[in-house]
Structure 1
Amino acid sequence: MNKPKDEPGLQTILSHCGRNLEASGGYVNVPPYEGSTIIHDDMDDLFGRVDNHLYGDGTARTYGTDGGPTHEAFYEAMNKLEGGVGTWAFSTGLAGCTIPMMAFLKTGDHMLVTDSVYGPTRQFCEVLLKNFGVEAEFYGPTIGAGIEGLIRPNTRLIYMESPGTHTFEMQDVPAIAADARRHGVVTMIDNTYATPINFQPLKHGVDVVVHSATKYICGHSDVLMSTVTCNEKTWKQVRAVCKMTGQYASAQSVYLGLRGLHTLKVRLDAVGAHTRKVVDWLLKREEVKKVIWPAYEKDPGYPIYKRDFAGPIGLFAFQFQDYFTDVQINRFMDSLKLFGLGYSWGGFESLILRSYGKRTVGDPKIMRTMIRVYIGLEDPQDMINDLDQAMTKMRDA
């Protein structure tokens, strides 16, 4: 569908989102406003703001943890991109994945969680939520509309991640969201992989969207932050929990997040093109058994990717042939010069890891066979050359 003639393009929206020349004193970027105490005009102003927190919409600022102009600019931008009514930022990626759950769960409740979920989020569900009397049941990520058969009378939340960031199964998010709505169940998704550029879950029926902004949104491997963006139905509950648990991201972090949004599409376009070249090369290698990338036309998740996503991402996995030993694969990993051995992804530099993690629905061994690759902004031929020389050393090991 063609956009209206007077509607700006995505890159134009990104270039201007969150801009407030009054708040910034005319500077292009709203600077990081750091502070704790807020001075009020008089007692009426002070009590009015407190009343707003206790009985109103909670938007008045009374203290630094409510955020300042920098936060407001960033939140406005995220709401615009995701189609949400409210956004909050957290000081780590994991906090954004876990704290919002507490808005909807209590002792005796049941939740459904994708088996491909981010490992630390899984641990939060299996350990901390269990200690509070919440049962987390893990479902196969390709279940789609079949999830309705798992919904119980006490099911309160369905938590998705599409694709899973180690095994990359695509989920039928609209189908799951539709089933959840019929049963009055809240849906939440980790949308870090796609970013708001390539997928907007709220427009597909999801209630709550979280991002590890540490990755693509900030984009330079120097910020720890996450966000939650909600629809109207869930926003007040989530915001209340964020405030009651003292969640806050620094003004410097949200400043860098807003700055990252301005170049997000440019970076995604570049890494998408680079990844296509590297994947095409890997598919021709006899050492490689399988490449797992939803944007690859023969990937099992490609039909859903093609339907729901606007473009490719630079994170994928591949498997070596079964005859390679752990010693040989580790030799491959240790021989790489351009690819860094490090956690996270979404920055400008290429990274690689042997996958790890836990599965209870799918094959538990599959994680150990995966090599997860993040393609950065380096020249793709240099990446290919690095992979090639490391494979040569692997064969000789």
Structure 2
Amino acid sequence: MSLKGKVIKNTAWLLSEKIINIFGLIFITSFVAKYIGPDNFGKLSLATYMFSIIQTVSIWGTDTICTKKISRNYNLGLSLLFHASRFRNLVFLITTSPLIIYLYFNSDATTLYFAIAVAISTLITIQDVYVIINDATYNSKLNVISNVIGLVISLVLRFSIVELNLPIIFICIPIITLNLIPFLIRFYIFRKENILSLISADKITKKFNSFVFYSGLPLVISSISVAIYFNSSRLMLAAVENTKMLGIYSVAITLGSSWSFISYALVTSVTPKLFSSKNLDQAGLISSFVSQVIIIISILYFLFFVLFGKIFIHKLYGIDYIYAYEVCFPIIIATCLSSLGVISSRFIIFNNGYSYLGKKNIFTCIFSIFFSYVMISKYSLIGAAY
């Protein structure tokens, strides 16, 4: 099969997975959100947002670095990836321990249990390097199948917990299984089909560690800045307002950004092709095409939500979450801009612009923290969205 055919097939698999994820999680999450109420749903969302930042730090930019290496030299990239996973573990331990200790002494039991469950799930995600390998080799089919199996089991568990009227603490179980089951499947398949002969000499290992640290540093600074920028309004909302407002805002985030699975699939599929481009013009054509598709899709989704959004929220989440409707519109626009930012960042990485990304995102992060506080203090939920 030609490279173009592989990209199209890979994108189709990624799209099918994201469609299943979006529709499955929207319907079941709405069921759970209605069951536990905006306040507890806000606590769960708060734990998720905190560990999304820790996950970003722990990955240390190795997903992008290793995808680039694997797309050019499979064996070297694979060796780098498995060495990088050890580095991820260390960073995760250093960043997670203080947070769990803080929550133990300063939060209620529900928030703590949710945080521990999300922490375990995050650790599993950090260890799941097989996702990167499959995506970089146009084999996203394995990722899709394993993710769908994990999703279905997780959704069945959530549905059962609500139907049986179990204590909300049981929600921790599907939070963990959502990432655990796909990881175990991918781990088994990879170990069965590959005989590993990774570079492991001490001198080479030191070079790998040094490369991961210094190459990943600008990327992790950039990624942390983006994560804080993206989550600052959510964390600030919980601090300035309350977890109930955060619960409503989380619903708006879910619905307003639900269409981004298309841009994610496109960007993931074309990234190996972009990184292996022979020249700047070819990389530019790939980036501009994906950007145009993202803009068109965002406009169509915006119009769809104008017509049906309020009905959708009322039927799925209930009257307690209806204010999320008007909050969704700036989030849809923000999602479009964020998706465009992802593909442009890949283009910049192709040109080795790691330092630029770091500086640009630090500036954006600092500005967003200040702007979030001002807007949320004055306009609450809608201010968080803007």
Which TM-score band (shorter chain)? under 0.3
TM-score, normalization by structure 2? 0.26
| The structure with more helix, counted as a fraction of residues | 2
The structure with the largest alpha-carbon Rg is 1
TM-score (norm 1): 0.26
Structure with bigger strand share is 1
Higher RCO (CA 8 Å, separation ≥ 6 residues): 2
